[in-house]
Every structure is written in structure tokens, then in C-alpha cells.
Structure 1
Amino acid sequence: MSTPPFNTVAWFQVGSDEPERVKEFYGSLFGWNFAADPDEDGTYDLVTYPGSDMPAGGIAHTDDPSGNHAIFYVLVADVPAVLAAAEQAGGKVDQQPVTAKNGLVFAKILDTSGNAFGVFSPPPAN
């Protein structure tokens, strides 16, 4: 499995309070495949594209419609450094860094127009 280059959009997430319905929508529209994320407790599904074994995104199960969303994530080498650079460029940190069980670090930023996007760094190599 190859890692995408840094500073590229490398992940997306769709949040839905009706995850089965949204999976049916994207599955029928684009042929996407879904599998439960083994690192989560049934609240996240991984998305793979037809012909690919590598997940490209996820479906987050939200509690109610107010949490529904679609967002892209940029792969970066250093999440805290990118957050500082974003603030210096006029953006705002929307979510401070969070470290997942596997060591992946992610955060959310608002650009200068208030659009939300995420940044993440991969888990440490084993």
C-alpha cells in the first residue's frame, strides 16, 4: 500500500445520522464499497473504490442531522505546524489535534472564507 504525497487531499469523510441510507446512495451512484473500520466501535465505515483495496474515505455515524457533513482531509507531515501556518495565513483552528488509537493525528481548520477542512498525519511506522 503506497502513501499519497504530503500536502494532497488524501481522505474524505461523510457524516450521516442515516449511515445505511447514505452508503446505499453512494454505493449505487458510484459503486463504492463499505466495511466497518476495525479500529472503531461500529461508528465508522471505511470506503473503498471499485478495483481498489485501499480505503479512500469514511462514513462517520452521527447522532442526529445536525452532525451531518462532508469534508476532505489533506495529508501533512506535521499537524501542529500546519495549524500554526493556517492561523498565520488568516485561517482558524476549528478542532485541535486528536490522536487516534493507531497514532494517526488529525485536526480541522477553517479557511479564510470559513470553509472547514481537515489535516492529518499518518500513524508512526511500525
Structure 2
Amino acid sequence: MSATAYNSVAWFEIGTDRPAEVRKFFGELFDWTFAIGPEGELSYQEITAPGADAPSGGIFPSGGAAPDYAIFYVVVEDVAATVERAQELGGKVIVPRTEAANGLVFAHLADSAGHHFGVFTPPAV
């Protein structure tokens, strides 16, 4: 992640209550491969495109807890400051600043026109 410039799109995510179907569709359409964790369908699944050095997206199995979505994530230096600035510009918080166990910090926002997107700061190395 160190080669990615701040304020650039660095990740995408597909949230779905039908991860196997989504995995099959995009796998066949784009030849994407998926790293499925030890919990199978219940775990986050990283997506790697053919020829890529690393994953660039993931599938979040929502279990129906949220509507299906597909969003992009922008890597930022400070998630809290970005959330605050987005709100100043008329954006709304969908998922507040959240820190994962591994140190990844993220939030989901809507721009002033209502488009859903995410921001994140990777875990410290």
C-alpha cells in the first residue's frame, strides 16, 4: 500500500448477501480469483485480477444485514479529518470511522449528491 498516493482510489468492495453467486459471476466475467478465509462464506474475500501483484478489492458477505452495494475506497491520511471535511462539504456519514482489529481505519460516506463511497487508512506497518 505504500506505493499508493493519498487521495487516490485504492480499493473496491462488493457487499452482498449472495457472495458465492457474485464470486462466480465476476470470476467468470473478469477471471478474478478470490482468497477465501478459513470461515468460508462468512469471511471477507479478497479479489485479485489476472496479472496483478496483489488484491485490489474484496467481497463482504453481508448476510442480508445491509443492502447490496459496490463502492470504491480512497486511501487517505486521516479518516476522521476526511469524514469531518466531507460533512462540511455537504456529505453524510453512512458508516462512522471504524478501526478493525488489524489497525485498518475506514468509513463509508455519501457525497453531496448521495453517492456512496469509502475512505480508509491502512494499518501501520
Quick check: TM above 0.5? yes
How many pairs were matched up? 124
Give the aligned partner of residue 117 of structure 2.
117
Query: Secondary structure at the residue paired with 2:20?
Result: helix
Give the aligned partner of residue 12 of structure 1.
12
Q: Distance in 2 between matches of 1:83 and 1:33?
A: 32
5+ residue gaps, structure 1, are none
* 1:27-85 Cα shifts (integer Å, max 9, x gaps): 111111101247x9942100001012311000111212853111111000000010111
* 4+ residue segments displaced more than 4 Å: none
The alignment's TM-score, normalised by the length of structure 2, stands at 0.90
Give the aligned partner of residue 21 of structure 1.
21
Q: Distance in 2 between matches of 1:61 and 1:3?
A: 28
Matched, 1:101 2:101: yes
* 1:3-25 Cα shifts (integer Å, max 9, x gaps): 31110111100111111111110
- Aligned-CA RMSD value: 2.0
Give the AA of the match of 1:98.
T
Give the AA of the match of 1:110.
A
Q: Is the 8 A contact 2:41 2:61 kept in 1?
A: no
Give the AA of the match of 1:107.
A
Q: Percent identity?
A: 46
The alignment's TM-score, normalised by the length of structure 1, stands at 0.89
Matched, 1:73 2:85: no
Matched, 1:59 2:69: no
Q: Distance in 2 between matches of 1:108 and 1:77?
A: 15
Q: Is the 8 A contact 2:12 2:56 kept in 1?
A: yes
